[in-house]
Amino acid sequence: MNVMVICLGKLKENYLREACAEYVKRLGAFCKINIVELNPVKLSDNPSQAQIDAALEAEAKLITEKIPKGAACFAMCIEGKQMSSEELSKKLEDIALAGKNNITFIEIPYYDETYVLCLKEKENYDCILWDNGCTAYEARPTQCSTYPFWSRILSSKEMWEEESHSCPGINSGKHWTYEEILTQLNEYKNNEPLHIKKEEEKK
C-alpha cells in the first residue's frame, strides 16, 4: 500500500517534526509512506475575498498535481466528519479489497476570520517567556496554567489523544481528580483567549 500525505506548509516546531518522523518510521512496516509539504500561497495581512479565493484556487491546483492517478483521497478539513480508528481501518481495508493501492490524505488549511490575542512567540513558535523552562511560571497566564484542560482538548477522547502527540507531559505526571480538572476547565472557560475580527483590527 502506498500512502501519501499532502500538506500546505511545513512543521516548524522540532518536537512536532520528531513526532511526525517517529510515526512515519512506525508506519514504514505496513506501507510505503510519502509526506509532501507544499508552499502555501502567500497573502497580505488583510487580504480581500477575491485574493483569498485566488489563493485557494492556486493551492488546489498545487495539491491535485501531486495526487497519484486513481488514488483514494481523504480530505482532512475542520468541517469534515471525524472517524474512529476502527472506522478508518475498515475504510482502508475496503479500499485495498477494491484493488486500489494508492491512498492520499490531504491536509486542508483553515482560513479563519479572526485573530487570537496571545503572547508573542519566537521564530520557532516557542513562547517569548520560554527559556529552558517558563521564566514566569508562578505568574503565568490562565491559558498556560489551565493547559491541557481546555474545552477543545476535553471535547473527546480522540482530541485528548491527538493533543498528547504534541505534548509529552499529557498522560504522565500528576494524577488529577475529576473535581480538579473541572475547576481548571471552568477557569479556562471564564478566561478564554480573546478573538478579534479582522475587519475590527483594521479600524
Residues 48-61 have pLDDT tens digits of 888 888 888 898 89
Residues 191-203 have pLDDT tens digits of 876 666 655 444 4
Q: Is the dihedral of CA 38, 78, 71, 29 positive or negative?
A: positive
The correct CATH number of 2-107 out of 1.20.1740.10, 3.30.70.360, 3.40.1280.10, 3.40.190.10 is 3.40.1280.10
Task: Please report, rounded to a whole number, the percentage of residues in the chain having pLDDT higher than 70.
Answer: 87
What's the mean per-residue pLDDT of the chain? 83
Write phi, then psi, for 99 (nearest 5 degrees): 90, 5
Residues 168-194 have pLDDT tens digits of 788 887 889 999 999 999 998 888 766
Sketch the domain layout of the chain as residue ranges.
2-107, 115-202
**CA neighbor of 99 nearest in space, from 72, 65, 64:** 72
